[in-house]
Structure 1
Amino acid sequence: MTTTPAGSSGTLITVAPTGAEHAKADVPQLPTTLEEVVDTARRCEAAGASMIHLHVRDAEHAPTLDGRRLRETVDAVREATDLVVQLSTGGSVHDPLEQRLTVLGAEPDSCSLTCGTTNFGDDVFLNPWPFMSELYLLAREREVVPEFELFDLGHVHALRRLLDTHGLPFGGRVHVDFVAGVPGGMPASPQALLAGVVMLPPEVTSWSATGIGRGHLPVMAAALSAGGHLRVGMEDNVVLSRGVPVRHNDELVARAAEVATLLQRPPLSTAEARMMLGVRDRRRR
């Protein structure tokens, strides 16, 4: 299993700037408008991110899967940056499955594909096998690279089933992201993360990790030490340190880049990230 492009020992840093959980009224600095998202993308690319994981909000700052807004956001970020643009197909935990499939119509470079249902706080994040399978095949048909999101160790086994059933995804690479610390999923601890890494199928070519809340830094350190990559951002963490709120997503990206560089695994360029993930170049340049 390889974790970086040939000849590289760098780190893919993905920024997840918004998510679907935090309310703008509670976190005013959360980027929810198109202008705020584009500005965030620019600043995070400059700080060391090479991929952006997007959830989109409507005019009232509520999560939406409106096709026009999704397309507008993808196009605007693609025009303003060289970031790999990834759309969430999770949306909000309340979005119907059939609407979540329509996300691919916005032609992102990548999409999330969560490998199983999980408790999500007081809610349930529904990802039954038929939905996972349909999304996998649709992503391959649309030439979109999936990122397999693993919230629990059972999801690793479900990834094995997807690969056995359908073969490799578009691009021929298999990139996964461990999401650790969601109430109901795997804990945000180095022990849980490394247990998942040991279980990964041999087809996996790269993996990253996300630590929710206070697990942010331990998961970051463990992932970098084990050859993995990082996802950071206000979707997962709105506190920079005890009592200090995150003012902008680029603070989290800059810290991740600093730690990765200190460990002699500096941030990958967007070109290196595209090579590692096997994404199709949709930039109009």
Structure 2
Amino acid sequence: MATATSLPADRLLITVAPTGAETLKDDCPQLPTTLEELVATAVECEAAGAGIIHVHIRDAEHRPTLDLGRLTDTVAALREATTLVVQLSTGGSVHDPLERRLKVLDAGPDSCSLTMGTTNFGDDVFTNPWPFVCELYQLSQERQVVPEFELFDLGHVHALHRLLDSYGLPYGGRVHCDFVMGVPGGMPGTADALVAGVAALPEAVTSWSATGVGRSTLPVALAALSKGGHLRVGMEDVLTLRKGVPVESNRQLVERAAELAVLAQRTPMSTDEARVLLGLAG
């Protein structure tokens, strides 16, 4: 794996994914779905040690949306209230059409998610055909938006090799990935699966993080820390702190990640350091 930056080796990037597109507000009232709730969450999570916020938005009825006006307003509000790297999801919900997902970059985020292939997603299918992946990647290069390559399976790691070989490095020159593990239909949320995924990464990769969905949250986090990786946490991925104990706020999950970092002798990155890591500095 390539050397990313001159940052101290003990630095840990914490990404918070506060909302997602799957959980209903009626089922989880504490989920931040309004702009005001999202901004308040972002402020709390930055103070707790997050460097990136991975954003899905909702409409006035709390349903997932890719409305460009709402996305643009969200980016502006988060930049006004925090110094977090603002990363918009280009996945939206599994039902969003490809052409609307491409329009997400029109909102001008710092970063965007870029999923490297189609995967079964519970009872649904998260569609990412190869021509779409290539078009979104080239658009991110053109718009100077840093992609985070989302890897749901080992085949997605192979696809990342193919993408970089075909179209070169992303804007900023860094290659940051996130293993999304434990989704029904994707790779399991186990240490063995993470080790295999990291071993298969392209040499051009400069940093990687991991996300464990549901019960795999802590096993994946501990495995990622032991391998020198970074963490994504948040209510998009898990809604309980432990069996029978619901998450009350995303801040709790960021704080827990920061506590794990202390045990692993890692220090949460500042937002300035996160920008250096991703090639956004300057």
Tell me the residue number matched to 2:69.
68
Question: CA–CA distance in 2 between the matches of 1:179 and 1:279?
Answer: 23
TM-score, length-normalised on structure 2? 0.98
Tell me the residue number matched to 1:219.
220
* RMSD of Structure 2 on Structure 1 (CA): 0.9
Tell me the residue number matched to 1:154.
155
Tell me the residue number matched to 1:5.
5
Question: CA–CA distance in 2 between the matches of 1:40 and 1:93?
Answer: 24
Question: CA–CA distance in 2 between the matches of 1:167 and 1:156?
Answer: 16
Q: Alpha-carbon deviations, 1:164-209, whole Å to 9, x = none?
A: 0000010000000000000000000111011000000000000000
User: What SS does structure 2 have at the residue aligned with 1:252?
Assistant: helix
User: What SS does structure 2 have at the residue aligned with 1:240?
Assistant: strand
User: What SS does structure 1 have at the residue aligned with 2:74?
Assistant: helix
Q: Report how far residue 262 of structure 1 moved.
A: 1.8
Q: Report how far residue 2 of structure 1 moved.
A: 5.0
Structure 2 gap ranges (5+): none
Question: CA–CA distance in 1 between the matches of 2:262 and 2:162?
Answer: 36
Question: CA–CA distance in 2 between the matches of 1:280 and 1:6?
Answer: 13
Tell me the residue number matched to 1:141.
142
Tell me the residue number matched to 1:40.
41
User: What SS does structure 2 have at the residue aligned with 1:119?
Assistant: strand
Counterpart amino acid of residue 41 in structure 2: T
Counterpart amino acid of residue 154 in structure 2: L
Tell me the residue number matched to 1:235.
236
User: What SS does structure 2 have at the residue aligned with 1:39?
Assistant: helix
Structure 1 gap ranges (5+): none
Q: Report how far residue 7 of structure 1 moved.
A: 3.8
Instruction: Give runs of ≥4 in structure 1 deviating > 3 Å.
Output: 2-5
Distance 1:76 1:268, change over 3 A: same
Greater mean deviation of Cα atoms: 272-281 or 56-65? 272-281
Question: CA–CA distance in 2 between the matches of 1:127 and 1:3?
Answer: 29
Tell me the residue number matched to 1:59.
60
Q: What is the percent sequence identity of the aligned residues?
A: 70
Q: How many residues align?
A: 281
Q: Report how far residue 3 of structure 1 moved.
A: 6.8
Tell me the residue number matched to 1:201.
202
Q: Report how far residue 280 of structure 1 moved.
A: 5.9
1:49-198 equivalent positions in 2, closer than 5 A: 49-198=50-199
Distance 1:212 1:20, change over 3 A: same
Q: Report how far residue 37 of structure 1 moved.
A: 0.1
Question: CA–CA distance in 1 between the matches of 2:89 and 2:162?
Answer: 22
Question: CA–CA distance in 1 between the matches of 2:5 and 2:77?
Answer: 28
Q: Report how far residue 273 of structure 1 moved.
A: 0.5
User: What SS does structure 2 have at the residue aligned with 1:231?
Assistant: strand
Q: Report how far residue 4 of structure 1 moved.
A: 5.9
Counterpart amino acid of residue 25 in structure 1: D
Question: CA–CA distance in 2 between the matches of 1:3 and 1:251?
Answer: 32
